[in-house]
Chains A and B, each alone.
Chain A
Amino acid sequence: MSDIKEIISGICPEATFVEGGEQLQVIVPDAKWHDLALQLRDDRRLNFDVLTAVVGMDWKDSLGVIYYLTSTSNNWDMIQVKVTAPDMKDPYIHTVSDIWKVANFQEREVYDFFGIRFINHPDMRRMFLRNDWKGHPLRKDYDADPAKNPIRLDDEVNEDDTCSYVEDGNGKIKKVPGKVFNEDEYVVNFGPQHPSTHGVMRMRTSVDGETIKKVDMMSGYIHRGIEKLCEGLGYPQILHFTDRMDYMSAHQNRHCLCLCIEKALGLEVPRRAQVIRVMMDELMRISSHLLAFGCTAMDLGATTAFFYGFREREQVLDIFEKTCGARMSMNYNVIGGVIADIHPDFVKDVKALLAIMPERLKEYHKLFTGNVIARNRLEKVGHLSKEDAINYAITGPSGRGSNWSCDCRKVHPYSVYGELQFEECLETGCDSFARYMVRMREIEQSCRILEQLVDNIPEGDIRALNVPKVVKLPVGHWYQQVEASRGTFGVFIESDGTKNPYRVHFQSPCFNLIGVMDLCCQGYMIADLITIGAALDFVIPDIDR
């Protein structure tokens, strides 16, 4: 840790350091930030090649961004970089979207929520809200009066308009208007209501014949403002939002938030609860990948395969239903453990599932994977190289399909994952088929984890006994990651010591996935747009939050 400090001080003497938190925090003035960022990525000794999270902040007296950086080569070390906008009234920060491509959408989100404009960012549009929205909702001084932003039934105008802010030699910032698509481009609009956008994503696609030239992802059609809502609620209350973001990784997301709060409180979760949580996570992963298999098949037109995937998924849902009381949005994890003990049939049901899964997987491969049309549609489509995957921070099955070893269960083991035997599934194909195959193989690995745990659920409490009645986190901020079904899910909490969080940020894996759609789709055909989307397997409410 200390040598990182020295190296950074050598590059940027203005940087100051805060220690004592989870990670080393580097505070950099905005003017030096871009240069330092370039060194942080490219310096051999540092090699912070992954921008894990971008958290916009309003500290009331200043606006700024906390960047979480991870180094894949140095033992997955993380540091935080805090950059503050020099002027609160007219906030600007230099962009790093040219260094880490993932920052492109992340910074647009920060702009949307906080009004911080990023100098030299190529496309400074709003991310989630209407382009004529008044105010920036996550600012503490935001006026939430519904009269200011009423429900409007007229369409947004000038959707093609974008702009960027450039700095001239004298340090003056100038707004340069631009257009997303040229006038002579043939733009086909997919969504928000479209059968294969997996929700209400909108993809404006410029095509030349059937070949895709550019994809403009427009998000926000289900942006519910969860991060703002969290600021008004107590910690046990905000848990239920996590189930409704990526509803296909409900358990993992909630697990993550619980871990983050438990970390801040210093709570020890009983082992029984930990094992149950991990089992639920893996069941959820199976259910999610089965749905992904079904939807991929359906988007390719093989409707029948979808029904086969759903048949097994129902069995997983039955297990959830017996223990948690619901098929979806289970609300099972709570701070310090789980809400209820497992159903007496739980072990039997899990064993029944494990018994059938191997042969059902064979059936899927026979029915769909081996099909020559399916192979031709998925193979060599949507190429995403390992370097791009890292640069765009594509984690989860999609990243592992590009041969990037990024499984959070391996690199930052949490709960009981450290003790378990399982393989991280990697594929070298870098195409849609590789992503699909990673998912299918992960089902096998999840079954393997379940096999190790199903007979070893220890006796004991299901909930820590020392959970305070009113949960108040100490002052500070925490960041926790888990491996959700679609990639690394992160939770950032900043607390000011009261019973409500000061700021909650959810770093969802799907948000990064839409960032690569443009890159992956260029040069492929309209039909491939659908399969690439299906193989990346994003869940829209997770993106929009």
Chain B
Amino acid sequence: MILLQLAADGLLLGAVYALFSSGLTLIWGMMNVVNFAHGDFVMLAMYIAFFSFTLLKLEPIVFVPLAAVLLFALGGLVYYALVRHVMRGPMLAQILSTFGLALFLRYTALWAFSANFVSLPSGLVGGVYDLGGLRLAASHLIAGFSALLLTLGLHLLLTRTDLGSRMLAVSEDRVAAELVGVRPDPMQALAWGLGAAATGVAGALIALFFYVSPEVGNSFLLLAFVTVCLGGFGSVPGALLAGVAIGVIESFSAYWLGPATKDAVVLALFILLLWVRPQGLFGRA
């Protein structure tokens, strides 16, 4: 029973990991730009959730979509104001620019919100469900299932619609895409917007059961990197499976080896995997 409980907890958490990692994989895989500010996008979304509730008395059903919309706008803005210009430059310029953005967001948050840990009241989405001995918190269930649905939705958007096909075309061959009539800039801005929006939803969902602080993005950034490498760059289904796998591994190792070791276990397994399969589980060689 305890194993089943651990697996269920891991799965639900993993779905949320998958969602914010698919945001990163979309941007990374599509444009070859590593967004070091990704963790700080999660942080911003968590603060949006927190202040929506404490200041505006908004319910999760309102503030989760709100976080998506605001982060979508932020993603598009970051593309047009920053990324579009540094993409023409050397790799180092791209890395430093998103790294700089990360620092900017983090220290602005520190200045505006102070370094204190805050959190939403734990009963915000109430209760714990008991499914034949399996105890699942409503907040985890909601977070896990919304994340799962959105990740699948993102995947379908990319693979089943003309819009998704155009976005992927720009990522595969920008020149050929332009030749058939695709304007690259709006497609890439859209990729940034969608990637950030996915991250926004994930952040707002995580805020339901996780503390918020200006530094909180750090751990999520590392986790997202591992998930994306594991799943293969640019692969949303890869991010989904990798995210869930990491959630489950963390859940089990926290139980058997103690909560402090869960990151170490994930990273150790990650290194082992890269040894045998450097392109990730679903990546193309």
Say if A and B assemble together: no
A residues with CB within 8 A of B: none
B residues with CB within 8 A of A: none
